[in-house]
Structure 1
Amino acid sequence: MTDLLTSIQAALGLPPTPVTFTSSGALPSAFAVTDLACASIAVAGQAIGELLHRQTGHLPGLEVDRRLASFWFSTSLRPTGWSVPPLWDPVAGDYAARDGWIRLHTNAPHHRAAAESVLGTCADRAAMASKVAQWASSDLEQAVVDAGGCAAEMRSLQEWQAHPQGRAVNAEPLVRFTHGHDLPGKTWQGSVARPLAGIRVLDLTRVLAGPVASRFLAGLGADVLRIDPPSWNEPGVVPEMTLGKRCARLDLHDKVDRGVFDNLLKHADILLHGYRADALERLGYGFAERQRLAPGLIDVCLNAYGWSGPWQNRRGFDSLVQMSCGIADAGMHWKHADKPTPLPVQALDHATGYLMAASAIKLLSERLSNGQGGSARLSLARTAKLLIEHDPGTAEPLRPEDAGDQGVLVEQTPWGPAHRLQVPMKITDTPLQWVLGASELGAHRPQWW
């Protein structure tokens, strides 16, 4: 745990401040998943502590609960009388190809359509399996990617290290910071209780990693406005990930909506985005244009496979990166299984999300002090490298969740009442709490308060 935490602190330029970790146990895995959960949450909390230290002269204490951190890396929501929709499309998952394993990610309709344009229409997993079995895994991966879909052949750790994209990711820092131009300093409007009050976060992220970051920022008082395209939906994760946010829709191909977006961006303090490396550029919102529209903007972005190398513009998700970089293969050997064995939770997504939040807070703290904006780039594949390099050690299993782990407040959501698990992190006098419950995508107007 100490080595992992120290590595992340160094990557973020944070001092090696001690953190108190409570409870014991770990998620079952070939890798240090619970340690990664604790360390990534801790550095996000430490970033807030450093901001408060700069603004008030007092450094608060920080405590992270190992059990709760592990549970939050799965889901924090506990519905009452209703169920969250399935996370996965019926044909998404791992398949045996002619010479190995491949994972197809088909949750988005256009990603399923891309896979079926290669394999043919498949009504169920059995039909998909029979068609995948006729392909070599590497050929099918490339064909689906070329069709605009998402797929990943299962590679070993050694194969990934030798792969051009693996070598490219190995050469990248965990977080790549770039500092912007000096501007008049922004006045801190927050307080010890709500340190990010008055900070506007424009969230263009989807699914898990980016939404984890914006959820954390919202819990500390930030005004988070999430923007989705008109037809996008992710019903299996919306109740979990829209906590604390307002959610609107804009079509960035539409002239009127682009004008609305330009105005939102001009008045944003932090932009979070998880588009592929070239996507915003093709929409006319490249880095230089974003900085022109919003001088001093804190620009934090992630992608799946890194920011250099042949796959830097490839579509990807946590489960695909686990297949590509050797995690699923190593898990299979660790468990003595006959099929890919991923991490017990989507830890790359969650950890990268907290690292994004920590990066945004660090840049904000600097902007409040010296008026200098900046940007940060992260990737799921680089977070995977961090996890792979650290020894999981040995630990007893986590004590199972019980009713006492849930908060006492009832969250009223569009789907029904729910409880959230107690938060895994305690910052002295700075409670992590959300004013808004989860909401449907597109439930709000695309405007700041």
Structure 2
Amino acid sequence: MNNCHTQSKHHVLLLSFFYAITIAAFYLAATSTSTENENLALARTFVCILLLPVLSKYIIQLIALPFYSVKEKFPQTNKQLKSTSTLSVSVIIPAYNEEVGIIKTLKSVLNTHYEYLEIVIVNDGSTDNTHDLVNEFIENEKSDYNAEIKYLKLNNGGKAKALNKALKLASNDIVMTIDGDCLMDKNAITNTVKRFNCETIGAVAGNVIVGNKSKTIEVIQQLEYLCGFFLRRADSVFNSVFIIGGAAAAYRRNVLIEVGDFCTDIVTEDIEMSTRILAAGYKTRYAADAVTFTEGPSNWRCLFDQRLRWKFGRFQTFIKFQNIFFSKNKQHNKYLTWLLLPIAVYAEFILLIEVLVLAVFFTYTFVCNDYLPLVVLITVMATIIMIQICFDSKRHFHKNLFVIAPVAWLMFLTVDIVEFQALYRSLKRLYKKENLQWQKWVRIGL
């Protein structure tokens, strides 16, 4: 109890500090008289040019966002359009030392009450109580649910190998994956499956929400996920969602058979798979109303290691699929190959020099007393976040972020620090030709 009170106190103090800085920026913008400095103005112009490609991508995505709802209400009408009402689903739950949450995860999938459902639990050599808990549930509670449950216990070989073994047991039309620390919303399967209304759709990404939000580090991740997944609506408009995380991923089974097993050499096997499906000419979509709650890391060391794996795995994927960058092949989506992927790599370069970029921006701001650009940035960012909260299918869950929105610009600076360390460590590993293993952290449970 005392620990919770201390965390809450620290969160309030940090939020108050961020608000003080933000209010000061608005006060200075209203009371200061700006001056000219040619050298700094030139430096600021150079920074703006550097940021232009990334800003252009965001502008295109913001313009495309309204079309997501239109596309959802009025799906394409062509000969390939299929009914999804009878599609059967296999949900794979890979688990390694997930005793804290595995039964909650399993029950959340069963409580979707999807009519044509089988569940494949694959235990990747857990050394805790995961095996006993799953066995006990199957023996005592399986009969309470109208779904087939298959259980596979393996020696530890990594998540990708475990998924590939589970695929051999999965027999239904759509294969979904969910991590052993996640909770699936009751409508998640139904809302995911209805996106497979066309044979050319190979995979669908669900909406992942960070479910633990008692600590500052958790709230930062909640905000980050909200913003990141919201922009996938735009990628979905162009049928090019290239990051489909394993916490809430769905694939057409015959597409998985066509493109092959999950890659065991890349630590983000989920991103590699979604990129491979796109490279094969299939479309990918995003289901904003197919919600899965995940447990975000609750300490900085674990968050740093998680983002290292994500960053390193993305670089591995980019290197493997470098041939689709700026591809002229007709089966490759131009939005993906000419915008998303190149800008994703370019954004890493910007992150690498972000300290210099921020130094130029704030030096210009303080020396020239020109706080208007900063205030405009804060206002635009806060407005966009509030719009995102209002349009999210779980807006009530995100209501705490209304208080965070005005100081989100400072929250995202914290995210950039986390991402920068991941970038540095990834580049170092790539240079030294070192690999990376899965990292685990202590689960608290949702």
* Common fold: TM-score over 0.5: no
Give the TM-score normalised by the residue count of structure 1. 0.23
Query: Which is helix-richer, 1 or 2?
Result: 2
Query: Which is strand-richer, 1 or 2?
Result: 1
Task: Answer with 1 or 2: which has the greater Rg.
Answer: 2
Give the TM-score normalised by the residue count of structure 2. 0.23
